[in-house]
Amino acid sequence: MAMTETFRTPFTVKFGPWLFLILMACLPLVLPGRFWLHIFSLTMIYAIFVLGQNVVTGWAGMLTLGQAAFVGMGAYASVLLTMQAGLSWPLAFLASGVICAACGAALALPCLRVKADFLSLVTIAFNQIFFMVANNWMELTRGPMGIPGVPSMQILGWKARSSSDQFWLILGVAAILFFLVARLMHGQLGRTMKMIRDDEVAAGALGVNVTGYKVLAFAIGCGVCGLGGSLYGHYMRFVSPDMFKLEESLLIMQMAILGGLASMPGCALGAFLMIMIPEALRSSEPWLITIRPGVAGATLVALMIWRPNGLLGFGQMPRSIRRLLRLEKEARP
Amino acid sequence: MSLLECRDISRSFFGVKALDGVSLSVAEGETLGIIGPNGSGKTTLFNIISGLDRSHEGRVTLGGRDITTARPHRIVGHGLVRTFQNLRLFKGMTALENVVSGGHSRSYKGLAGQVLGLPAMRRSEDELEMRARACLAEVGLAGYEEASPAEMSYGQTKRLELARALNAEPKILLLDEPTAGMNDVQAAEILGLVARVRDRHGLTLIVIEHNVPVLSRFAGRIVVLDAGRKLVEGRPEEVTRDARVIEAYLGAGAE
């Protein structure tokens, strides 16, 4: 009888992330020099930002263009809490997540009154407001001068001094965040968000509290960005308003779209490509350097034409390849 | 005893009365058909009952509970589920996920439980998936679990929407033109499926339908709406013979 039949998660889905994590953890042992380690650390931090963006945009279907404001808010909160209030980094890290989640939920309220493009405009405006405040509130943020001398991350007396220590710490935090968000997005919460994304009216008619889930999506997405922001500030050892401008939001959004909306590996892939492409072109060939700024843009244009759902987005992978990689659930005989 | 009761429902859009004092009641286990020309207020009535729209006057009660101003997701919780005339499937999900989504109201929703993978959450998700597969099989879509709605034929998407609604475990199901755009053979097939499903689950049905001959065979009672008012109500054979209905619905002199 069908009711006793169970379905197993394919092994690629089950063990793929662990294998990837192990390979990543080996990187500092094989990478030559600190520069590439830095690039990979940065990629992982951006992947966290993209994760936050993807919860709101990929799963819940709201195109926010202000995630950099939450990254900045998390970074400033964490930096000020450690430097001014004397909190330890892990506490400041968690606090910045909570603060950003609360602010995200608050921003969701005006966003709920508008749809689609206008929602993007509200979030752009929010990004500008954040920038203005950070730039002008001299007493708190030191304005455009920024805050230098930010202490490095440390946990219970262990301080991440070398770049490989920092790499491993960021990898650990990123892995935990990806794990937690994946649990939510691959279960009931992610499914409900996709219902809202695909058809709000039908979602409501099937019993979804649309307002509640939109606020929740903002809270989670912005909270994740805030946590990423805390890592960013303490990794760069410096924060200034310029780091969290609208351009940064656009970059995060581009990464999310490039990797594929509502795709967990897509977050990492998008961040990786958008950081790696410009770095790889930073070579000795003069013409490569000339075209460098245009490559990311051209990539996106090409993507919109041939892969409008992003590299790993829904329906982008042919069924045959999905079968080959065992990405679909199969009935247990 | 009536399960759903609408009393004096009125709704106007910019001065145009879409519904003007419509009352109807549906008994448990009954199948009520609603017919009427375009613009007679059929879908508006569904929208008001299911909470997507608000009536300006009148009351709606479901099982004795006033749901006039309740929000849609609350009404689903009370066992009333509807489908849509212009299919509203979730296009970014597979057929299976679409049907699983139908069971939203009874899914495990705790965030901590989902993060920790608690057994209660796993049981709930497994149950939803089993039920969804059973619903798909019930409407004849077994084997299409991983298909995207975009890959399915029109008739299949109609069945898919029915499966999704079934997984919401309704007591009363509102179907808005389940056979729109189909020929008589397909329409009879779909309504036959609906009738089988109704009998198996003991559903109460309200069906908006244009195909009167097909509807007459499976609805116990038919309400005819015209220009926002209830024109006639009665057994199918009475209604289809009524001179006023013939004039409003089929056009004067159609006999």
Q: What's the pLDDT tens digit per position in A89-109? A: 899 999 999 999 999 999 888
Is A2 inside any structural domain?
A: no
Are β-strands B221-226 and B31-35 bridged in parallel, bridged antiparallel, or unpaired? parallel
The β-bridge partners of B81 are B173
What is the pLDDT confidence band of residue A5, given thresholds at 50, 70 and 90?
very low
Yes or no, beta carbons of B114 and A2 under 8 Å apart: no
Q: Which two tokens stand for residue A231?
A: 């890592």
d(CA B102, CA A208): 10
Radius of gyration of chain A (CA): 20
Q: Are A69 and A301 spatial neighbours (Cβ–Cβ below 8 Å)?
A: no
Is B100 inside any structural domain?
A: no
Which residue matches tokens 């000795």? A284
Is A278 inside any structural domain?
A: yes
Yes or no, beta carbons of B168 and A206 under 8 Å apart: yes
Nearest to A227 by CA among A154, A273, A290, A177: A177
> How many domains does the structure of chain A reveal?
1
Q: Are A70 and A222 spatial neighbours (Cβ–Cβ below 8 Å)?
A: yes
Q: What is the CB neighbour count within 10 angstroms for residue B176?
A: 23
Is B91 inside any structural domain?
A: no
The β-bridge partners of B26 are B4
How confident is the model over B169-187, as pLDDT tens digits? 899 999 998 888 888 888 8
Q: Which residues of A lie inside 8 Å of B (Cβ-Cβ)?
A: 2-3, 5-7, 180, 183-184, 187-189, 191-192, 194-195, 197-199, 201-210, 262, 314-315, 319, 328
Is B146 inside any structural domain?
A: no
Is B68 inside any structural domain?
A: yes
Is A245 inside any structural domain?
A: yes
Q: How far is A319 from chain B (nearest CA, A)?
A: 9
Instruction: Please classify residue A286 by burial: count the beta carbons closer than 10 Å to its beta carbon, then call 0-12 exposed, 13-18 middle and 19+ buried.
Output: exposed
Confidence (pLDDT) at B14: 87
Is B112 inside any structural domain?
A: no
Which residues in chain B are closer than 8 Å to A202, comparing Cβ atoms? 84, 88-90
Q: How far is A333 from chain B (nearest CA, A)?
A: 15
> In the A/B pair of chains, how many CB contacts fall below 8 A?
105
Confidence (pLDDT) at A330: 53
Q: What is the CATH number of the domain that holds A111?
A: 1.10.3470
Radius of gyration of chain B (CA): 19
Q: What is the CATH number of the domain that holds B196?
A: 3.40.50.300
Res A331 pLDDT > 80? no
Which domain covers residue B28, as residue numbers? Answer: 2-79+170-250
Coil, helix or strand at residue B40: coil
Yes or no, beta carbons of A188 and B108 under 8 Å apart: yes
d(CA A47, CA A235): 15
Q: What is the CB neighbour count within 10 angstroms for residue B18?
A: 24
Give the C-alpha distances (Å, rounded to integers) separating A148 from A78, A90, A165, A253. 13, 20, 21, 28
Identify the closest residue of chain A to B138 by CA–CA distance: A2
d(CA A199, CA A145): 46
Is A27 inside any structural domain?
A: no
The mean of the pLDDT values for chain B is 87
The structure's pTM equals 0.86
Q: Considering only the C-alpha atoms of chain A, give the largest distance between any 2 of them, rounded to a whole number of Å.
A: 70
Residues in chain A: 333
Identify the closest residue of chain B to A61 by CA–CA distance: B92
Identify the closest residue of chain B to A176 by CA–CA distance: B115
d(CA A111, CA A69): 15
Q: Identify which of B71, B108, B117 has the shortest CB distance to residue A183.
A: B117
Which domain covers residue A79, as residue numbers? Answer: 34-331
Which residues in chain A are closer than 8 Å to B148, comparing Cβ atoms? 315
What is the pLDDT confidence band of residue B161, given thresholds at 50, 70 and 90?
very high
Yes or no, beta carbons of A184 and B115 under 8 Å apart: yes
Is B160 inside any structural domain?
A: no
> How many domains does the structure of chain B reveal?
1
Is B194 inside any structural domain?
A: yes
Which residue matches tokens 């929703």? B109
Yes or no, beta carbons of A189 and B107 under 8 Å apart: no
Q: How far is B217 from chain A (nearest CA, A)?
A: 29
Q: What is the CB neighbour count within 10 angstroms for residue A313?
A: 22
Is A16 inside any structural domain?
A: no
Give the C-alpha distances (Å, rounded to integers) separating A42 from A181, A256, A275, A276. 20, 16, 8, 10
Q: Identify which of B76, B121, B124 has the shortest CB distance to residue A206.
A: B76
Is B132 inside any structural domain?
A: no
For testing contact with chain A, the best of B75, B87, B90, B116 (most A CBs within 10 A) = B90
Q: Identify which of B73, B81, B121 has the shortest CB distance to residue A208.
A: B73
Yes or no, beta carbons of A207 and B97 under 8 Å apart: no
Identify which has the larger pLDDT, B89 or A294: B89
Confidence (pLDDT) at B251: 64
Is ipTM beyond 0.90?
no
- Which of A292-296, B31-35, B70-74 holds the top average pLDDT? B31-35
